């Protein structure tokens, strides 16, 4: 079966600037303190390493390397602060790129499935919480259906939608879809509710509280690492403090589905 893949580069002046091999070489220089040792660690010739560094240098207005003279180690080569900054930038973009490619790989050799994934990838909504999930089960009834979902962090959520919508969207078990939750639809409480038949209850901690005259924004992290944003009115009758254990309550009806 075919699948989508590719290589990621940062370009300057329409020319390749930083790619995976060049970044690996720079990291080896940072670790070993010399170009010779770095090239040896990568099992490449010293000339090939120099050619890579020369190509970077031609496009960069700021040096990536600086020489160390003398000292206990007898001199060597180290990265400049600019080089470290650019490596961090590359790593951040490369991580996002790989996540993007992994989503595309879901399509395999099916163009129609790829089209659906593209639509889902560029989904735009005002909701603060957009969670990529996997459908783990479907409980279908005549008018309403319950979709059980699992987030990438391992949290389980349930959403209730009309059975007609379920059919129209074409949701199947094991499909990847978005759970979309408005921040105002998340309640924060300090005791788990006794009745949980129609709501999701997620245990975790209040990470951050931001206040204005009208509203309170809460960053909530579940025990499994899922981050949620809740939005309360400033006159809400609840005493809040950071680094406090709490529960996020989300009713089944308040989780919208995006594909």
Domain count, the chain: 2
**The last residue of a domain, from among 57, 76, 105:** 105
Of 18-32, 77-91, 235-249, least confident by mean pLDDT is 235-249
- Asked if 128 contacts 163 with a C-beta cutoff of 8 angstroms, the reply is no
Rg of the chain taking only CA atoms, in angstroms:
25
> Could you give the CA distance from residue 93 to residue 124 in angstroms, rounded to a whole number?
21
Domain region containing 162: 123-258
Give the pLDDT mean for 209-213.
Answer: 86
> Could you give the CA distance from residue 203 to residue 116 in angstroms, rounded to a whole number?
33
The pLDDT, as a whole number, for residue 27 is 96
**The last residue of a domain, from among 36, 70, 105:** 105
Please indicate, yes or no, whether residues 185 and 214 belong to a single structural domain of this protein: yes
Q: Is the entire prediction scored with pTM above 0.75? A: no
The pLDDT, as a whole number, for residue 1 is 62
What are 99-130's pLDDT values in tens digits?
A: 778 777 777 777 776 766 666 665 555 677 88
Q: Is residue 30 part of a domain?
A: yes
Q: Does 159 have pLDDT greater than 90?
A: yes
- Asked if 147 contacts 105 with a C-beta cutoff of 8 angstroms, the reply is no
Confidence of residue 49 (pLDDT cuts 50, 70, 90): very high
């Amino acid at each position: 079966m075919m699948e989508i893949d590719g290589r990621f580069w940062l370009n300057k002046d329409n020319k390749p600037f930083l790619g995976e091999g060049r970044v690996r070489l720079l990291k080896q220089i940072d670790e070993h303190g010399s170009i010779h040792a770095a090239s040896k660690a990568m099992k490449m010739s010293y000339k090939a390493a120099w050619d890579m560094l020369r190509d970077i240098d031609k496009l960069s207005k700021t040096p990536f390397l600086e020489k160390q003279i003398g000292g206990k180690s007898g001199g060597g080569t180290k990265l400049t602060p600019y080089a470290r900054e650019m490596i961090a930038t590359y790593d951040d973009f490369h991580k996002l790129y790989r996540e993007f490619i992994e989503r595309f790989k879901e399509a395999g050799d099916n163009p129609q499935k790829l089209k659906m994934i593209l639509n889902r990838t560029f989904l735009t909504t005002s909701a603060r919480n957009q969670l990529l999930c996997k459908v783990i089960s479907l409980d279908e009834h005549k008018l309403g259906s319950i979709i059980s979902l699992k987030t990438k962090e391992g949290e389980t959520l349930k959403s209730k939608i009309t059975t007609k919508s379920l059919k129209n969207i074409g949701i199947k078990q094991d499909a990847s879809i978005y759970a979309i939750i408005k921040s105002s639809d998340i309640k924060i409480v300090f005791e788990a509710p006794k009745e949980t038949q129609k709501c999701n209850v997620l245990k975790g901690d209040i990470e951050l509280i931001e206040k204005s005259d009208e509203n309170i924004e809460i960053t909530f992290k579940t025990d499994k690492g899922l981050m949620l944003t809740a939005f309360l009115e400033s006159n809400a009758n609840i005493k809040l403090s950071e680094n406090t254990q709490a529960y996020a309550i989300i009713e089944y009806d308040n989780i919208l589905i995006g594909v």
